[in-house]
Structure 1
Amino acid sequence: MADSTTESTNHRSTPADILRSVARPLALTRAGMVAERIVRAFWPLWSVLFAVLAALMLGLQDMVALWVVWAVAAIAGVTTLWALIRGVRRFAWPSREGALARLDATMRGHPIRASLDRQAIGDRDAASSALWAAHQSRMRARLGEARGVRPDLRVADADPYALRYVALLALCVALLFGSVLRVQSVTGMGPGGGSELATGPTWEGWIEPPAYTRKPALYLNDINAESVSVPEGSRVTLRMYGEAGALSVAETVSGRPFEQSDAQAQETAQAFDIARSGRIAVDGPGGRAWDVMMTADAAPGVARAGAFETTWDGEASLPFQATDDYGVAAGTARISLALDEVDRSFLLEADPEERPAIEVPLPMPIAGDRTEFEEALVDNFSRHAWANLPVEITFQVTDDAGQTGTSETEVVTLPGRRFFDPMAAAVIEQRRALLWTRENAGDVAMILRAISHEPDDVFREAKHFLRMRTIRTNLERQSENGLTLEERDELAQALWDFAVLLEDGDIDDARERLARAQERLNEAMKNGASEQEIAELMQELRQATDDYMRQLAQQAQRDSEQNPDMPQNPAENMMQMSQSDLQEMMDKIQELMEQGRMAEAQQALEELQRMMENMRVTQGQGQGQQSPGEQAMDDLAETLREQQGLSDQAFRDLQEQFNQGQQGQQGQQQGQGQQPGQQQGQGQGQGNQPGQGQQPGGQAGEQSLEDSLANRQGALRQELNRQRQNLPGGGSEAGDRAAEALDRAEGAMDGAEDALRENDLAGAIDRQSEAMEALREGMRNLGEAMAGEQGQQPGQQGQQGMAEGQDPGQQRDPLGRDTGSNGQTGTAESMLQGEDVYRRARELLDEIRRRSGEGERPEEELEYLERLLDRF
């Protein structure tokens, strides 16, 4: 039974059946072996053929002497023969057994060889035969996994310098830039002449216009007309083939000397540029001639297309227009001082120092046609020494041919930034005098000293005077030994920065400039000024208005950056609407003035002034009432201000302790007998708050002061704890964050109170800083919670965008201010006549605080003073 099974299996698994099951992968493997042996045997042959074909397609045979062509042909022939013999000797057709062995080696267990094997011993044993049959069945099952073996076509070991790739690259270049038609030229180089020599000599020619003209090249062999028109500078290339001297070239377009032209007439190749109209002729069998009409390349042109336009910061824009027949390549604007036109008065009487002319590249269109265009030169010359002085300006443009076009030199005023602030304008004038010549340094220093003689009358802030004094001191010190260029430039930069600081200032400065411009325009209309003066003042008013609106926008942006998590109100939209209204109002005023209706224009100007007075945007709650969220925000803001005051007081006390300690040590060293406790007691007495007594001894006074600060800190902590109980926004994520932040603030306040009781002022200041930071974070989170509850709808945020000055109520408070039903307080009357508003406000606030500390005053007055302090 077992013998019959084995014979049946062997009958079904004959070698032919086994090989038939792997016939396809075996054929693929054998084909890959053929390709592999061809590549390895004949790669030098096709490399040589590729190189020779590439040289012929590129026409290299036409560029060298005939003997060089023959030498290279002989070398190529020998190399080709050697490569062919080498390939034939090394090539061997792969056998079927070899392909079968390679295919079998790629599979696990060599199943092909195992399937073809026969059992050598034990074939009569049934168990052994069964095991052998099972093994062969398993191997035959693996035959289905057979896949053709990929050939190995790498010949890097035989070609370490990759010469085959060099030849392939040369062929690709020839296919791109060469021509198969050039190969036929080699047929005329053999002995006995080729087909070309049999038919006579031939020629070939091109005319290539300059690239910047973007015109196509002309193939002379295809031009049947007797005349041709080409641009100036076109390149003519002529090639003659055949017997030397059979063809010659005669031309009158290049302008070459007769001797040079005659010497080159017999050459096989000629190239020259067209410099004038004339004639080109190929003399000889099959020759032709053309009349060449040269189109001259016109020089470019440029001219100014308008006047300078200047922005508020001095950025100037000057339009110009340029033309060229093929396109403008580049251009520059040259600006030099028109010394004869300068008003040589005051500090400009001296001869100016030599300065190079200003050369600014002209902007060119990035895309589009450059044959005719209009652009604008944009630059800022405000910091230059010639700003606001007459200058000569000249435009110059060039084309790709190198030709230059220059505009007429015109005298214009070099624009610069205008300074409306009188002090800033004076500083800029002295800066220009210093840049005019360094000999003016002494006079400039003297003038700066004169204009800053009474600083309280001319400077709004003390830091402005200190900065002016520093600049003046440096100028006086450096001018004693003569200013260097570097020192002059540093001082000029310092003066510029100082003038910009005075001019830009803050929103209050912009408001003052706007009021000054309105007042000047109003006076000009009343006094019957000329139309030109009124136009200039109107332009000044527009610029001052733009500056004021810009300051409003910058202030809104700064507020949003400082409090990014606070809910945004639509003040910006209201400001944009107001700016549009203001522009319409100014257009109306200008139109009325142009029509001579000065009374109506003056009335409109007064309306404009009222509108500008109401530009400060506020936010209320309707009928003077606040929502619980807004009340909580106000309470937290008041807590933050009080915490800031406590921190400032603690810092001042720490400084006094440090200074008094140094003074006490110095007093002991000098033997003056002054006790440290007395000094400390005096120092601390200066910082006491109203109602705080001073102890006789230094330690007692200091301890009393610290206890007072600790008590105030404790009271503030209790107030914060009370505010936390009624905090809105509970349940929301932002509300929870606000509660956590206020909890941290209360803990920091508790630590600050303990530090104050232990006389650790430095530690108290640190904890107070933590409390203020936590308070700010809590306010931001509370604002987010309120915005989330109200849906951030403009209509739910109360009456936003209310402008001050709306019809107030008829009641006045004891200070003469109007109080309206909407909770706004103010007056339209001018209560100060030229005084420093900020200094006067500080004096009033100090006076209110002083009076509130006097206990003998009536109770009603004290309550009123406390309400004023709570509000301001």
Structure 2
Amino acid sequence: MPETGTPPPDILKPIKWPLRLTLWGMTAERITRAFWPLWSLLIAALGLLMLGVQDLVSVEWVWIAGAVFVAALGWAIWRGARMLVWPTRIEAMARLDGTLRGNPIQAALDDQAIGAADMGSQAVWQAHQARMRARLAEAKAVEPDLRVAKADPFALRYVALLAFAAALVFGSFLRVSSVTAMGPSGVDLAAGPAWEGWMEPPGYTRLPSVYLNDITAPGLSVPEGAQITLRMYGEVGALSVDESVSGRAVSPEAAQETAQDFAVLQSGRLAIDGPGGRAWDVSVTADAAPSVRREGEISSSYEGDAQIPFAASDDYGVVAGSARIELALDAVERDYLLAAEPESRPAIEVPLPMPIAGDRAEFTETLVENFSEHPWANLPVSLTISVEDEAGQTGQAEVETITLPGRRFFDPMAATVIEQRRALLWTRDNIPEISRIIRAVSHLPDDVFRSAVPFLRLRTILRQLEAAGPSMGDEQQAEIAKAMWDLAIILEEGDLASALERLQRAQERLSEAMKNGASEQEIAELMQELREATDDYLRQLSRQAQQQAEQNPEMAQSQDSMEMSKNDLQRMMDRIQELMEEGRMAEAQEALRQLQELMENMQVTQGQQGQSPGEQAMEGLGETLREQQGLSDEAFRELQEQFNPGQQGPEGQRGQQGQQGQQQGQQGQGRQGEEGRDGQGQMQGQGQGSQQGQQGQGGEQSLEDSLANRQQQLRDELNRQRQNLPGAGTEPGEAARDALRRAEEAMDGAEEALRGDDLAGAIDQQSQAMEALREGMRSLGEAMAQQQQQNPGQQGQQQGGEPGQQRDPLGRNAGANGNIGTDENMVQDEDVYRRARELLDEIRRRSGEGERPQEELDYLERLLERF
């Protein structure tokens, strides 16, 4: 901005400092744009030196990089000097004036060009000058523009800044000085060559690194696989390495390299030859292979969970292991259906459990796995246990021939089905013989089957076997084997016709287990099954006693009975379990026989306060389940009659259905007059009595329509029970409602199938309904148990027992006032340490079941970490 004259000294006084700061900012702006490559190169080089890059490469590369850096540095200085033009005061004044309104600086410095002789024009000019000078007080320094993005489109300055920031975090200023030792000059030249060395053991050994410059002893013990790092400074060739520990062939040129890295694989000599050199006799400590052995007895649970204990050890720690199981064909008794040559099957490979916390150098664990469904279950197999350490070395236990644990079936029919399943999986050439055996054992179904459903499933399996023959495919073989397994489970654990049959079956299983020398865990599980069956039987006896009391009150009052509380039965079962644990099997058998006689002759009297709503709902659902089972049996008989007219079914001929329907109808009509506790008997009696009565009196409607109507009435009754189900708002209560809703939907599907004359589909839907009913009853029982825990005193009074005779969930007697607290020892007459071991094994087994909820698995892992 040219000056037209000499301004008065006070005109620019208000903008003195804004003008000066603007000038300085323009100077910084031009220096930045001219020399940004210079400082980028400087901080990049400093960052690389602080990170120690010069120590990772040979000295030749350092010299080359130094030469390139010096050339780039000279270019940056030349470029900056050529581009740098110092700003003038006039340029700063023009930039400052451009930021003000009306350019007041230029206006203040201007002179009046025309009209100077005119007084009016001169007055206007002076007013304009005064206004512009007043605006000078508003002037502020202009901020410099330090951006160089246009000159640096690839943002190289930020790359340099990032390298320097990383060096500040991970590097050190002390490492910069190491670059001075790479040339023959200065103090290092006077002091002679220098070297550094480190020995780093493998990470899995968890041993510290060793700085070789501090090792003055002639001997050096090194773990196998350790890494040696050597760095030699000074003139190339002044120092050389002579070593025989890596097993490599080193040329004279390679021995003089300034940076060397190699692994120690064998014992030998390591020497640095030259001024200031040193030598060591290296002794390699070999990494021992891990070892493993099977320890303790192999056991199995009632469900077939095999428990194989083992012990493993390693000098640094075991990281993994596996168990390999192969069929020991030479040890198999090759008789009957096992006489044929078996089909080839791959060996079983299962990983070994490792300790979640703690040292893995030496530990004992138990492999828990269920092999019950495998074709080799309960057959001789060869067991090979192997473990591996982090170095990749493996250790193997002695190959052992054992009997592969599997589930044991006590029901004769279930055991037969499992035996034929094993024969099918042994070889498909056994199919003709398997079919003949199945036909033979199911020839008289009334004698071996408790209901129609298992018989129907077995006939379906038989038809599939006969249709496929020995040429059946792998998928069909697996499908039929799965169906046979499910059938055996139903026969062994399935629905029983009554609580008494379930109780007798539990007693028979326990007696059979005692005769066969079952394990403690199997006996404990069978005892729990006996307790549950006893509770169910007592509930049914209680219901029957109440019905008899309502029908014949005089007879009920006149009967002579021996009173026994539920706690007395509990003590008898505790005594049986105690005798078995002590090995006194004869006395345990006698006590079990006395319990059987007592249960067969028992009659239960009701307390004065009646049943709770939960017990009433449980009884109602049980009645609904029995009636649904009856409908399913009738549908099965009708299906059998369609394919084999006039043939006897598992439970009678179709010609007898009219008479049965008439009798059931009369019973239903008789129930109409009774006042049930929840109204269930009246509704079921009206619906079923009328329908079955019509069927028995002349068959005015078809059997399918009669069954469909009865199914509809049963569904309506279940809907009413679901609406009045107790336990609302609790998780088990809602689960029970959901199960009953699914049962209702299955009943609706069965009704539609019956009306469409699809008896097979109806039977499937009825099976689903019965399964959902059982699930709902289990959930309802959990809800009742939860309520009992929340209100122990009230529940104890409802059960009619003395408060002092109640027991808490741990089996301890409660106090005299009904409180749960007691001073008894929680583990009575048991080995505390054995019980703790059993609990820990059970926690480990459950933690390995991936199908459990994630929350439960996390809780189990926390328990294992703690104990």
Query: Which of the residues 342, 347, 368 maps onto 2:358?
Result: 368
Q: CA deviation at 1:447?
A: 1.2
Pick closer, same or farther for the CA change 1:553–1:687 going to 2, 3 Å: closer
The equivalent residue for 1:472 is 462
Name the amino acid aligned to 1:317: Q
Pick closer, same or farther for the CA change 1:173–1:630 going to 2, 3 Å: closer
The equivalent residue for 1:533 is 515
Q: In the aligned structure 1, how far is the partner of 2:68 from the partner of 2:390?
A: 47
Pick closer, same or farther for the CA change 1:474–1:73 going to 2, 3 Å: same
Pick closer, same or farther for the CA change 1:791–1:587 going to 2, 3 Å: closer
Q: In the aligned structure 2, how far is the partner of 1:791 from the partner of 1:287?
A: 80
User: How does 1:409-558 map onto structure 2 within 5 Å?
Assistant: 409-479=399-469, 482-506=471-495, 512=501, 515-519=504-508, 533=515, 535-536=517-518, 541-547=523-529
Give SS of 2:464's match: helix
Q: In the aligned structure 2, how far is the partner of 1:296 from the partner of 1:576?
A: 67
2:591 corresponds to 1:606: no
Name the amino acid aligned to 1:499: A
Query: Which of the residues 199, 220, 223 maps onto 1:231?
Result: 223
Report if aligned partners of 1:593, 1:601 keep a CA contact under 8 Å in 2: no
2:214 corresponds to 1:222: yes
User: How does 1:691-840 map onto structure 2 within 5 Å?
Assistant: 800-801=798-799
User: How does 1:301-450 map onto structure 2 within 5 Å?
Assistant: 301-450=291-440
Q: Which runs of 5+ in 1 are unaligned?
A: 1-12, 525-531, 556-574, 653-685, 734-789, 804-872
Q: In the aligned structure 2, how far is the partner of 1:610 from the partner of 1:30?
A: 113
Pick closer, same or farther for the CA change 1:222–1:537 going to 2, 3 Å: closer
The equivalent residue for 2:608 is 623
Q: Deviations over 1:48-87 (max 9, x none)?
A: 2233334444555566676655444333222212222333
The equivalent residue for 1:85 is 78
Q: In the aligned structure 2, how far is the partner of 1:345 from the partner of 1:591?
A: 36
2:245 corresponds to 1:253: yes
Q: In the aligned structure 1, how far is the partner of 2:300 from the partner of 2:397?
A: 22
Q: In the aligned structure 2, how far is the partner of 1:511 from the partner of 1:95?
A: 113
Q: CA deviation at 1:507?
A: 6.5
The equivalent residue for 2:158 is 165
2:191 corresponds to 1:199: yes
Pick closer, same or farther for the CA change 1:624–1:201 going to 2, 3 Å: closer
Q: CA deviation at 1:687?
A: 11
Give SS of 2:590's match: helix
Give SS of 2:435's match: helix
Q: Which segment drifts farther, 357-366 or 422-431?
A: 357-366
Give SS of 2:423's match: helix
Q: Deviations over 1:538-592 (max 9, x none)?
A: 865533333466799999xxxxxxxxxxxxxxxxxxx999998687344333257
Q: In the aligned structure 2, how far is the partner of 1:64 from the partner of 1:791?
A: 74
Report if aligned partners of 1:122, 1:129 keep a CA contact under 8 Å in 2: no
Give SS of 1:326's match: coil
Q: CA deviation at 1:302?
A: 0.8
Name the amino acid aligned to 2:475: E
Report if aligned partners of 1:514, 1:545 keep a CA contact under 8 Å in 2: no
Q: CA deviation at 1:398?
A: 1.6
Pick closer, same or farther for the CA change 1:185–1:426 going to 2, 3 Å: same
2:199 corresponds to 1:211: no
Report if aligned partners of 1:250, 1:282 keep a CA contact under 8 Å in 2: yes
Q: CA deviation at 1:443?
A: 1.1
Q: In the aligned structure 1, how far is the partner of 2:61 from the partner of 2:81?
A: 30
Q: CA deviation at 1:100?
A: 9.0
Name the amino acid aligned to 1:319: P
Q: CA deviation at 1:599?
A: 5.4
Give the CA RMSD over aligned residues.
Answer: 5.7
Pick closer, same or farther for the CA change 1:545–1:234 going to 2, 3 Å: same
Pick closer, same or farther for the CA change 1:511–1:351 going to 2, 3 Å: farther
Q: In the aligned structure 1, how far is the partner of 2:279 from the partner of 2:391?
A: 28
Give SS of 2:237's match: coil
Pick closer, same or farther for the CA change 1:521–1:501 going to 2, 3 Å: closer
Q: CA deviation at 1:133?
A: 8.7
Give SS of 2:485's match: helix
Report if aligned partners of 2:510, 2:527 keep a CA contact under 8 Å in 1: no
Q: Deviations over 1:761-818 (max 9, x none)?
A: xxxxxxxxxxxxxxxxxxxxxxxxxxxxx99956667954469xxxxxxxxxxxxxxx
Give SS of 2:518's match: helix
Q: CA deviation at 1:491?
A: 1.5
Q: In the aligned structure 1, how far is the partner of 2:515 from the partner of 2:462?
A: 35
Report if aligned partners of 2:340, 2:427 keep a CA contact under 8 Å in 1: yes
Pick closer, same or farther for the CA change 1:582–1:380 going to 2, 3 Å: farther
Q: In the aligned structure 2, how far is the partner of 1:133 from the partner of 1:326?
A: 90
Name the amino acid aligned to 1:325: D
Identity across aligned pairs (percent)? 51
Give SS of 1:74's match: helix
Report if aligned partners of 1:589, 1:605 keep a CA contact under 8 Å in 2: no
Report if aligned partners of 1:115, 1:136 keep a CA contact under 8 Å in 2: no
Q: In the aligned structure 2, how far is the partner of 1:610 from the partner of 1:98?
A: 118
The equivalent residue for 1:50 is 43
Q: In the aligned structure 2, how far is the partner of 1:149 from the partner of 1:612?
A: 108
Pick closer, same or farther for the CA change 1:520–1:164 going to 2, 3 Å: closer
Name the amino acid aligned to 2:431: A
Query: What is the TM-score with the length of structure 2 in the denominator?
Result: 0.59
Q: Which segment drifts farther, 388-397 or 578-587?
A: 578-587
Query: What is the TM-score with the length of structure 1 in the denominator?
Result: 0.59
Q: Which segment drifts farther, 57-66 or 416-425?
A: 57-66
Q: Deviations over 1:104-154 (max 9, x none)?
A: 9999x799989999999999999x989x999979x98xx7xx999876654
Report if aligned partners of 1:212, 1:326 keep a CA contact under 8 Å in 2: yes
Pick closer, same or farther for the CA change 1:580–1:169 going to 2, 3 Å: farther
Report if aligned partners of 1:385, 1:432 keep a CA contact under 8 Å in 2: yes
Q: In the aligned structure 2, how far is the partner of 1:71 from the partner of 1:103?
A: 49
Q: Which segment drifts farther, 217-226 or 153-162?
A: 153-162
Q: CA deviation at 1:354?
A: 1.7
Q: CA deviation at 1:473?
A: 0.6
Name the amino acid aligned to 1:344: R
Report if aligned partners of 2:328, 2:381 keep a CA contact under 8 Å in 1: yes
Q: In the aligned structure 2, how far is the partner of 1:593 from the partner of 1:66?
A: 82
Report if aligned partners of 1:549, 1:579 keep a CA contact under 8 Å in 2: no
Q: In the aligned structure 2, how far is the partner of 1:28 from the partner of 1:398?
A: 74
Report if aligned partners of 1:510, 1:547 keep a CA contact under 8 Å in 2: no
Pick closer, same or farther for the CA change 1:347–1:67 going to 2, 3 Å: closer
Q: In the aligned structure 1, how far is the partner of 2:94 from the partner of 2:570?
A: 92
Number of residues paired by the alignment? 622
Report if aligned partners of 1:521, 1:534 keep a CA contact under 8 Å in 2: no
Pick closer, same or farther for the CA change 1:342–1:605 going to 2, 3 Å: same
